[in-house]
Amino acid sequence: MQHPEENPWQVKSETRVYDNPWISLTEYQVINPSGNPGIYGKIHFKNRAIGIVPLDADMNTYLVGQYRFVLNAYSWEIPEGGGPLADDPLAAAKRELLEETGLVAKNWTAIQRMHLSNSVSDELCMIYVATGLEQFEAEPEDTEQLIVNKVPFDEVYRMVCAGEILDSVTVAAVLKVKLLLLEGTLSL
């Protein structure tokens, strides 16, 4: 599909409003595409989002439950986390899977790249399927209080379709895996 190459936004100035080890927030004074002045905020992520759908030989997967501070709610998700932008995303995925579940996988397939909230952030996400699983001891971070459940993949798919799982990375990953399974293009 063709689209314009030129950016219709003009940046007049920018101010760093907030910065921590994970994100920064910048406010821009802009001229918007219609020619009017305005402001725009951008959240820059210093890590790449990583999601993993681990699948065992019996088509079970693993959900990680944790209380999400920002949502003030409990959330069930696939194993996920972040990896520095300069690092190999697959290495980050392997680390996250071990950290959260204690699983090590022999086989890895990248299935999806996506922007998570492109109206306010530049966060990029990579999603993988991990197979050939072997169980070791989980190594959660001290900020994580996790519950890990082994669940049949079809049950997780049902939970996503019923709106019982709302995490965007999990929803996208589960729907993509289901599509690949139906198409017969995912090697297990």
- Model pTM score: 0.92
Q: Which is it for the CA torsion 126, 98, 106, 177, positive or negative?
A: negative
What integer pLDDT is reported at residue 128 of this predicted model?
Answer: 98
Beta bridge partners of 152: 60
**Boundaries of every domain in the chain:** 10-45, 47-113+125-183
What integer pLDDT is reported at residue 141 of this predicted model?
Answer: 73
Tell me how far the alpha carbon of residue 93 is from its chain's centroid: 10
Only one residue has tokens 């300069």, namely 86
What integer pLDDT is reported at residue 133 of this predicted model?
Answer: 98
What tokens does 105 get? 């996988």
What integer pLDDT is reported at residue 140 of this predicted model?
Answer: 75
CATH of 47-113+125-183, one of 3.40.50.720, 2.60.40.10, 3.40.50.300, 3.90.79.10: 3.90.79.10
Four-point Cα dihedral 88, 79, 73, 17, nearest 10 = 0
**CA-wise closest residue to 94 among 147, 149, 145, 50:** 50
What integer pLDDT is reported at residue 188 of this predicted model?
Answer: 80
87-131 pLDDT, tens digit per residue, is 999 999 999 999 999 999 999 999 999 999 999 999 999 999 999
CB 31 within 8 A of CB 10: yes
Regions in the chain scoring below 70 on pLDDT: none
DSSP symbols for the chain: -----S---EEEEEEEEEE-SSEEEEEEEEE-TTS-EEEEEEEEESEEEEEEEE--TTSEEEEEEEEETTTTEEEEE-SEEEEETTS-HHHHHHHHHHHHH-EEEEEEEEEEEEES-TTTB--EEEEEEEEEEEE------TT---EEEEEEHHHHHHHHHTTS---HHHHHHHHHHHHHHHHT----
What integer pLDDT is reported at residue 122 of this predicted model?
Answer: 96
Rg, the chain, Cα only: 19
Only one residue has tokens 């397939």, namely 109
What tokens does 186 get? 């995912």
What integer pLDDT is reported at residue 142 of this predicted model?
Answer: 73
